[in-house]
Amino acid sequence: MGALISFIAVIILTLLAYGGVKSANMQAIFGIVLPYAAIMTFLIGVSYRVIKWAKSPVPYRITTTCGQQKTLPWIKQNKIENPSDAMGVTVRMILEVLLFRSLFRNTRSELQDGKLLHGSSKWLWLGGIAFHAAFFTVLFRHLRLFTEPMLLPLHLVETLDGFMQIGAPRLLMSGVVLLGAAMFLLLRRFLIPQVRYISLPADYFPLFLIIGIAVTGIMMRYVTKTDIVSVKELTMGLISLKPKIHQGVGAIFYIHLFLVSVLFAYFPFSKLVHMTGVFLSPTRNLANNGREVRHINPWNYKVKARTYEEYEDEFREKMKSANIPVEKE
């Protein structure tokens, strides 16, 4: 159900861009207005979300500890999985953000003849990291359309990305991996009953959208071709704030650009904000040193708790008869 809704939504978006450009000549809308609107929504939206989270304090030091704590000097602390200082936290966060450390721990539990077996399971990690790394590489490669003169590392990335030298234009692996990994992530939502059960339209939609983006991108490069020089003239026009529509850019480009615009605009309203959220996760970005350094809760308040005086008043006679010292005889 959720998948179907999302799939149809992406198809409609594609047709909208195609129709808009082909029959209504709305190149200026799809090539200039919407990309600007999308990037503004993205920048403001994401910043707004982060600020909104940040306005809620972190009242307690609730690190999830995944290794030996700092303790007696002869017991080896796991300084990364159970950090006690900023250095450890930094390394932990780097591993988490770049290498998906927690997901790497993933296990799979199976019940066989009344016995539970918990084996290592790296597929989700592999799919996830392939997807994100490929996405990042593809995004980075696109800087060739947004920088003039080109950034130096771009050539290096592209050479590495296309090192198999298949075809011309050279086959870039990142695009293929991106599409493959997105398909994998989609398929596991279809095929694993538990994952299918928890999946919402909001889980399928970005996947279909990204698959749409990858497919149109790959088609443009290898199949239907578009004039890349005109495309760059358009993109450079955009970033220099002197946008101009160039003839000779095919509809497929506008579809691609429109889907990307939708992704950017959708980003701050969706689960995709996990990109920034992960940095703020209190179970990961805090040192486990609650007994060493006092963590301050800005809304901490005094509570009315039972005092010893009240306690002794209730139990004084019983305490005295049991020879337990009391304050007031």
Considering only residues 60 through 99, tell me which ones interact with another protein, judged by CB under 8 A.
Answer: 60-72, 74-76, 78, 81-82, 84, 96
Query: Can you tell me whether residue 242 is helix, strand or coil?
Result: coil
Report angle CA 100, 102, 104 to the nearest 5 degrees: 70
Alpha carbon distance 192, 65 (integer Å): 30
Q: Which residues contact 162 (CB under 8 A, 6 or more apart)?
A: 170, 171, 172, 173
Interaction of residue 168 with another protein, rule CB under 8 A: yes
Please say whether the dihedral angle defined by the alpha carbons of residues 277, 41, 229 and 176, taken in this order, is positive or negative. Answer: positive
- Considering the complex, what minimum distance in angstroms separates the CB of residue 67 from another protein? 6
Instruction: Closer to another protein by CB, 19 or 297: give it.
Output: 297
Interaction of residue 161 with another protein, rule CB under 8 A: no
Looking at residues 100 to 119 of the shown chain, list those that interact with another protein (rule: CB under 8 A): 100, 102-103, 105-109, 111, 114-116, 118-119
Do 208 and 13 form a contact (C-beta atoms < 8 A)? no
- Considering the complex, what minimum distance in angstroms separates the CB of residue 274 from another protein? 4
Residue 117: phi and psi, rounded to 5, are -115, 135
Interaction of residue 145 with another protein, rule CB under 8 A: yes
- Considering the complex, what minimum distance in angstroms separates the CB of residue 14 from another protein? 19
| CA distances to 18, 164, 172 from 227, in Å | 17, 24, 18
Q: Which of 36, 136, 190, 315 binds another protein (CB under 8 A)?
A: 315
- Considering the complex, what minimum distance in angstroms separates the CB of residue 20 from another protein? 22
Query: Can you tell me whether residue 33 is helix, strand or coil?
Result: helix
- Nearest Cα neighbor of 230 from 315, 145, 112 is 145
Q: Which of 23, 247, 318, 329 binds another protein (CB under 8 A)?
A: 318
Tally of CB atoms within 10 A around 175: 20
Number of residues that bind another protein (CB under 8 A): 146
Tokens of 103: 């997901």
Instruction: Closer to another protein by CB, 38 or 213: give it.
Output: 38
Show the beta-strand stretches assigned E in the chain.
Answer: 107-112, 115-120
Looking at residues 239 to 298 of the shown chain, list those that interact with another protein (rule: CB under 8 A): 239-242, 244, 248, 269-271, 273-274, 276-284, 288-298
- Considering the complex, what minimum distance in angstroms separates the CB of residue 253 from another protein? 12
Instruction: Closer to another protein by CB, 23 or 116: give it.
Output: 116
Cross-strand pairs, 120: 107
Tokens of 62: 């609730």
Q: Which of 124, 130, 215, 265 binds another protein (CB under 8 A)?
A: 124
Looking at residues 9 to 38 of the shown chain, list those that interact with another protein (rule: CB under 8 A): none
- Considering the complex, what minimum distance in angstroms separates the CB of residue 43 from another protein? 6
Interaction of residue 41 with another protein, rule CB under 8 A: no
Interaction of residue 55 with another protein, rule CB under 8 A: yes
Instruction: Closer to another protein by CB, 18 or 221: give it.
Output: 221
Do 207 and 186 form a contact (C-beta atoms < 8 A)? yes
Binding segment for another protein (CB under 8 A), chosen from 14-22, 26-34, 120-128, 251-259, is: 120-128
- Considering the complex, what minimum distance in angstroms separates the CB of residue 38 from another protein? 12
Looking at residues 182 to 221 of the shown chain, list those that interact with another protein (rule: CB under 8 A): 188, 192-203
Instruction: Return the HEC string of 116-141.
Output: EEEEECCHHHHHHHHHHHHHHHHHHH
